[in-house]
Amino acid sequence: MTALDSRIAGFDGVEFVARLAPLELAYTNMHGILAVVFDDLMRGEFHLSAAGSGIEEIAAWAGLVHLPRPDTAVLLDRTGRLSDAAARLSVFQPPDPAPTARRLIDELTNWTLMLAHILARGETARAHNLLHAVVAPLQLQLCRLLRDSTAHWLSPSRAP
């Protein structure tokens, strides 16, 4: 193990974030992200990874993550590479209408049919969850796409 590997392995993300403000809760969520709740009930999500591979991964976030103010998203950047990568996410990339519409229609067809089958089996709670968590966001995205209102594409339930 190199000295760098040793420092990375010994990095304590919770201790690092706790320097910002006192924490009431800190855990690694189901997506592998450090999720915290500060003592004022403000919540945050912290993506902690080694600079080399972590910074390279950021390019793949284009279209999935939008950072309108990337300077507020970067807490520590000794070389400037992270800030440069985050800056590339400051430009919103609206979805390509035709292939996105096709994908949304296919998804809605599949999930709406599944919803109908779940309801027919009498699984009401599961059906409500599916409607809320899967079908409704897809419907909202399709409506936004049809109205050319994709400013809140990544969270389609937000007010226009």
Name the pTM for this structure.
0.62
**DSSP state, 28?**
E
The answer for residues whose C-beta is within 8 angstroms of residue 13's C-beta and 6 or more apart is 34, 46, 48
Same domain, 88 and 111: no
b or e along 16-29 (b: 16 or more beta carbons within 10 Å of the residue's beta carbon)? ebeeeeeeeebeee
CA dihedral (65, 68, 70, 75) positive or negative: negative
Distance CA 82, CA 85 (A): 5
pLDDT in tens, 76-86: 888 999 999 99
Please enumerate in sequence order all residues whose Cβ is within 8 A of that of 17, keeping only pairs 6 or more positions apart, or say none. 23, 26, 34, 36, 44, 46
Strand runs labelled E in the chain: 23-28, 34-38, 43-46
Lowest mean pLDDT among 3-12, 23-32, 39-48, 125-134: 3-12
Q: Which residues of 46-62 are buried (b: 16+ CB within 10 A; e: fewer)?
A: eebeeeeeebeebeeee
14-67, pLDDT tens digit by residue? 999 999 999 999 999 998 899 999 999 999 999 887 777 788 888 888 877 888
Structural domain includes residue 158 = no
Domain count, the chain: 3
Looking at the structure, tell me whether residues 126 and 115 fall in a common domain: yes
Same domain, 34 and 55: no
Q: What is the pLDDT of residue 91?
A: 86
Enclosing domain of residue 6: 1-48
**Counting beta carbons within 10 angstroms of the beta carbon of residue 10, is it exposed (0 to 12), middle (13 to 18) or buried (19 or more)?**
exposed
